[in-house]
Amino acid sequence: MGEFDLIDRFFTRSPRPGGRTVLGVGDDCALLQPAAGMQLAISSDMLVEGRHFLSTVDPARLGHKALAVNLSDLAACGATPVAFTLALALPGADETWLAPFSQGLLALADAHGCELIGGDTTRGPLNICITVFGEVPVVEGHSQALLRSGARPGDDLYVSGSLGDARLALEVFRGRIRLPDEVFEAARARLEQPTPRVALGQALRGVASAAADISDGLLGDLGHILRRSGVGARIDTEAALALLASRPWPADAAGGFDAEQALACVLAGGDDYELVFTAPPEARSAVHQASRQAGTPVSRIGRIETDPGLRLIDRDGRVRSEGYRSFDHFA
C-alpha cells in the first residue's frame, strides 16, 4: 500500500457541510475559511513511541490520545475545535494498525466537530504529529482566549477532573506498583484515552483569569501560569490528594506505595490533560456554573499570591519544608 492509497483509505473524508473547510485532504494545501471576527488558536504536539506511549498500546486508544492532547491545548485557550492536520511516520503500512488508529482518531474528531483537513505520511520510526486549529471569539477588539498570563494575587486556583491516575497506571506498567484490576483499568484508560476538557475551556471564557492544560504535571504546568503572570501560589496538599480518583490506595497497592507517592502522582504525574485555571473569588458561582454546563467537576485547591514561587500547605496549615522541587523531579 503506497502513501496515497493509505491516505485515501484511512484518512480522506469529504468536508463537513457548514464547516469551515473549503478544501480538505488531496491538494497541496487545505483551505480554511475562518468565521468573521474569529481568531485562530493553533497548537502542535508530537507523540513518539516509548516516550509518549508504549509500543503495546491499543492503536484505537493511541489515535484518540494523539488528537486528545492537542484538543487539550485548545481547551486551555477556551477555543472551539475546527480542524486538524495529521503527519504520520510509520515503520510500515500495517492495515491492522492503521484501521483502528484512524477509527480512534476520527471518532474523537467527530465528537468535537474537528475535521481532518490534510497532512503527510512517510516511512520512518513511529511518530504522530498533529496540528489543531480552533476558533476564539474577539469581542469589541478583545480576544476571549484564556491565556497563561492573566493570574492575579488573590485569585482562586482550580483543577478540573482528577489528577495522578495516569501516572499510577504508568507505574503499574513499569512494574513498580500493583493495583486491583478494576482500579488499574480505570487508571489505564486515563493514561491511554484522556478526555480533553474542551467544553469546560469554552465555558470558562470570560470567567477564568488564566488557564493551562496539565500535560507535564500540575506543578510544572501551574509553573508556566505563575511565571507568565508574575505571581506565586499556595496549594492545599489535602485538597490536591483528593484529586486522585483511584481508590482504594495504598492498601491494595503493593511495592511500598504510600500517601507521599500518591501526592507525587497528583502533583507531578503528567499525562492528565486536565485544566489548571485561576479565577477571582467573586467568580466562584460562575466557575461552578461553567463546571455544571460542561459536565466536568472542578476542585478549588489553593490560591494565587503575590510572592513568587509555589508553596505546598499541609493539613495543619504549615508550609511543607521540603518545598515542591522533590515532586517536580518525581519523574
171 vs 168: CA distance, rounded Å? 5
According to the binding rule CB under 8 A, does residue 73 interact with its own copies?
Answer: yes
- Candidate segments 116-124, 258-266, 294-302, 320-328, binder of its own copies by CB under 8 A: 116-124
Question: Which residue among 8, 92, 123, 248 contacts its own copies (CB under 8 A)?
Answer: 123
* Minimum CB–partner distance for residue 251 and its own copies (Å): 36
* Minimum CB–partner distance for residue 25 and its own copies (Å): 11
Beta partners for residue 80, in sequence order:
135
How far lies 11's CA from each of 73, 104, 236, in Å?
A: 23, 12, 46
* Minimum CB–partner distance for residue 167 and its own copies (Å): 18
Please, which residues have CB within 8 angstroms of residue 120's CB and are 6 or more apart in sequence? 86, 87, 88
C-alpha grid cell, residue 323: 518545598
Q: Pick the closer one to its own copies by CB: 143 or 250.
A: 143
Q: Pick the closer one to its own copies by CB: 76 or 266.
A: 76
How far lies 42's CA from each of 48, 67, 70, 108, 118, in Å?
A: 20, 13, 9, 18, 15
According to the binding rule CB under 8 A, does residue 111 interact with its own copies?
Answer: no
3-class DSSP assignment, residue 8: helix
Contact 263, 144 (CB under 8 A): no
194-213 binders of its own copies (CB under 8 A)? 211-213
Question: Which residue among 9, 16, 19, 40 contacts its own copies (CB under 8 A)?
Answer: 40
According to the binding rule CB under 8 A, does residue 74 interact with its own copies?
Answer: yes
According to the binding rule CB under 8 A, does residue 77 interact with its own copies?
Answer: yes
Q: Pick the closer one to its own copies by CB: 125 or 309.
A: 125
Pairing type for strands 298-305 and 210-214 reads unpaired
Q: Pick the closer one to its own copies by CB: 133 or 249.
A: 133
